[in-house]
Structure 1
């Protein structure tokens, strides 16, 4: 029985390519190989970029009204296909179906934002800046751009970038994770059905060969990347050296500061939801609870009670938490738990002992809670990217703030308190890009921008929102003087903007 091969999407069709290289795609809930994905070689990279380069002039000059209509059509089709996309995500990533549906919904928000691109691309105009001289500004697309997205959000992260880039007049080559590649092909087919011309959106599957090819290819003008910090730094340095515009979103170690006056039940619910949702494979997951003063003991007990009640298993069975994406990643996360225990942390809830509701040997690790974690332990310093929640105990707000600010990551953070003054002070003083007040996962809505500080972002531009539009466009200022002439002719037809 032959294994299905997931191909690239080039010039409006799925193609396997000639590299002769492929990778296994697993069903994380069973541990079995479900299909293979073609891995691009240099020839496939060149072919994908050539398609984007060829499509760019026509798409750049397509009327803004027509581009917007295609965006609206894509939005409608994606909304109709949301369940299908979610099922594909669950089959290859492992997150529960409800979580996958939420991922698609958050991606749809960015599509809806991009539908208003006409307003966002407006320039300015000054009449008679000098006598008879007018000045106006415009924003124009960059050209073919690359989007390199991670395994944990195979639909949402591409949708952070692709709709805005396309709406602004660019063409896009998407390099999704080879661990869960099929959602990208679903998006490609929806774009085609929406009326997007061939070559405007391309999917190139691959590993480091494909990534390096895109980073260095002269046809690619900008790169958007989301992934771990070491790779984000590499992408930023290599693409920048090749003269490209780069936004590279890296890793995180998100803290949730809990003050003694916080609502204990609400806080425990939030910690469990934010720590164990999507098996902790989120860059915005809460991985550290900073318990201030006397709140620590009752908070740990409340979190432990909830964590033990979670049902881990196949995400298609209505479980609370699914598997991790691969067996190697599951073993790596379990290794961190063992190392934390050896270093002196107390294992309150041990996910290594989970009995999952699933068939076969899936890649499961249950919710894990570690108490008495200290900042020198690897379970604190490293981004684990799994269902491991560490509790660090401090005596005061100032100690909690200092702990967050000393961390090399600055992606997201939250504070739980009833004290408005303390919350306002935290908003002002914390050195993190996205802050929640009694909100554990402060992912901004689409018309704001997503991104962190410090080692969580390389480049100076965040994703989607106004910053996303500016990233995928460049400004031009025109100064003009014209002789005074009179236009003649009568046209009673209603003016059109096509």
Structure 2
């Protein structure tokens, strides 16, 4: 799978790219000056050509033209494309997962899990195609029927982030296509190879289902490409995943043209551990949630709020588990924590730990850079850190996209909830307790203020059956399951008069 440069002893991964792309149906990607780096070694995997303004305009126009006929195709027939995509994803799960590992640095188990998530949302969307329900309401006027219908919205612009390069695209695209929309995708400029692969697979699925392949368009590029999507009135919905800063730019620009926005932004997720908690279960859940994907998930656990009476015991257990973590090249067997996204991620992690210590924090374990054989100077690895904090300082209230777990203590449950909710973000949350009153309070209106609230399970690893998203600075959007499909459609209220009279609403007479 890997090659070693005999002079520099650096691991070489680029040789794998052509074979993987070929297996996924891409023989000659558009080469150019946009370098694609692997965080595993820091090497350039390939250089690709970004789309220019004219190409992006053409992609939007193609999607808009395809929408005019795609919206009239019955939803179960539209689902045939998504069904074929699931077939191809199963067939090519290994190749696509390896490409995710090369571009993102995920360990293979997590990469395969991400592709499985794509398959799962495809299955969900196929079933959804027969459940795009509207209500029938009782009319106050005799001889009238009142109902609502749901119609395709238009072109959906998907702007995705590097850490989940394929799953989040699938959440949006599978549902949008079934709803009758067409899609223009601008992936992260760090993960264009996985985007090329998914685009090729979807085009193959469209052809297999005898559908117009123009229903999906791909534009590669940097922030300028995304900005063009954001500002184009032909794009009815912008679904953007990324930082809060990105959302602050995108939201007002889409609102200014009266477009729709679905924003999935930052998460500064916390878990409360109560005196009654099953600590064996809690430790396992906490470690995975805090260090999975090297702490680079929007749902990563970043704050641990522990009852003072059990804090020392829990910290000892966590520190013992952290010291056993194997950090390294994710392609090597037994590695549990892969690389950070790059040097800038390590700098943010280092600076955040320094600020936390300046605020009185105690570094319990980890937090140091790790040297990995075969990694070049542009690759960065770090041992996940646990920092015990005296209170919730400004650095704790910020989201540092790195594997840092801040530990706070509490004495009464109201204080725990206040600490939990005392941050600007509101994505995912958890409580570990065997006390039913505590768990119910955590899920109540005056409990967790997050879009996701879990009991006795970590903050990460959401299933596609539920709606995914958060509140406050997280953006308020919902993707994936439940009734998240409504974001991709427009609602019409219909009144049908089947009588020969014309009564007015509210009893108004106009004779």
Flag whether TM exceeds 0.5 (same fold): yes
What SS does the aligned partner of 2:458 have?
Answer: coil
| SS of aligned partner of 2:454 | strand
Match 2:325 to one of 302, 307, 310: 310
Tell me, yes or no, if structure 1 residue 440 matches structure 2 residue 440. no
After superposition, the Cα gap between the structure-2 partners of 1:112 and 1:347, relative to the gap in structure 1 and judged at 3 Å, is same
Residue 365 (1) aligns with residue 370 (2)? no
Give the secondary structure class of the aligned counterpart of 2:228. helix
Contact 1:371 1:392 in 2 (8 A): yes
Deviation of the 1:50 alpha carbon: 1.2
Offset, 1:39: 2.7
Secondary structure at 1:294's aligned position in 2? Answer: coil
Question: SS of the residue aligned with 1:414?
Answer: strand
| CA distance, structure 1, for counterparts of residue 38 and residue 171 of structure 2 | 25
Quick one: which of 221, 232, 241 aligns to 1:206?
A: 221
- CA RMSD in angstroms, aligned pairs only: 2.7
Of 170, 177, 194 in structure 1, the residue corresponding to residue 205 of structure 2 is: 194
Residues 118 and 403 (structure 1 numbering): CA distance in 2 closer, same or farther, change over 3 Å? Answer: same
Equivalent residues in 2 for 1:397-476 (5 A)? 397-428=413-444, 429-441=447-459, 443-458=461-476, 461-476=477-492
Over 3 Å counting, the alpha-carbon distance change for 1:51 and 1:14 in structure 2 is farther
Aligned counterparts of 2:131 and 2:251: Cα–Cα separation in 1: 26
Do the aligned residues in 1 keep the contact of 2:271 with 2:459 (CA within 8 Å)? no
**In the alignment, which residue of structure 2 is the partner of 1:67?**
78
| Cα displacement (A) at 1:302 | 0.7
Unaligned ranges ≥5, structure 1: 485-498
The whole-number CA distance in structure 2 between the counterparts of 1:427 and 1:128 is: 36
Check if 1:477 corresponds to 2:483: no
Take 2:321 and 2:263, find their aligned partners in 1: how far apart are those partners? 35
8 Å Cα contact 2:136-2:146 kept in structure 1:
yes
**Runs of at least 5 residues in structure 2 that lack an aligned partner in the other structure:** 1-13, 501-511
Aligned equivalents of 1:124, 1:38: Cα separation in 2: 48
Mapped contact 1:95–1:322 kept (Cα < 8 A) = yes
* Structure 2 equivalent of residue 242 of structure 1: 257
Cα drift, residue 64 of structure 1: 2.6
- Alignment partner of 2:92 out of 61, 65, 81: 81
Structure 1 residues 417 and 480 mapped into 2: Cα distance closer, same or farther (>3 Å)? Answer: closer
* Whole-angstrom CA distance in 2 between matches of 1:128 and 1:405: 43
Q: Distance in 2 between matches of 1:248 and 1:13?
A: 34
Residue 492 of structure 1 corresponds to none
Question: Does 2:316 match 1:301?
Answer: yes
Q: 1:326 aligns with which of 323, 327, 342?
A: 342
Within the alignment, does 1:219 sit opposite 2:242 as a pair?
no
User: Aligned equivalents of 2:493 and 2:336: distance in 1?
Assistant: 54
TM-score (norm 2): 0.86
2:183 is matched with which residue? 172
**Do the aligned residues in 1 keep the contact of 2:161 with 2:241 (CA within 8 Å)?**
yes
**CA distance 1:333–1:23, shift in 2 (3 Å):** farther
Q: 2:405 aligns with which of 383, 386, 389?
A: 389
**Any idea what the Cα deviations from partners look like across 1:209-245, whole Å, max 9, x if unmatched?**
1111001112111111111111112211111112111
8 Å contact kept, 2:369–2:381: no
Alignment of 1:82-121 (within 5 A): 82-121=93-132
Cα gap change, 1:297 to 1:139, in 2 (>3 Å): same
* Superposed displacement of residue 86, structure 1: 0.9
Go from structure 1 to structure 2 and tell me whether the alpha carbon gap of 1:475 and 1:387 turns closer, same or farther (over 3 Å shift).
Answer: same
2:308 and 2:77 mapped to 1: Cα distance? 59
Q: Deviations over 1:32-71 (max 9, x none)?
A: 1111233333212201101111211121122333212222
Q: Deviations over 1:382-419 (max 9, x none)?
A: 11111111111222222111111221111111111121
Given the superposition, is the C-alpha separation of residues 352 and 442 from structure 1 closer, same or farther in structure 2, using an over 3 Å criterion? closer
Q: Which segment drifts farther, 124-133 or 312-321? A: 124-133
1:452 positional shift: 0.9
Report how many aligned residue pairs link the two structures. 473
Q: Paired residue for 1:263, among 266, 274, 278?
A: 278
Looking at structure 1, the residues matched to 289 and 408 of structure 2 have their Cα atoms a distance apart, in angstroms, of: 16
Give the deviation of 1:126 after TM superposition.
7.2
Per the TM alignment, residue 285 of structure 1 is displaced from its structure 2 partner at its CA by: 0.7
SS in 2 for 1:114: helix
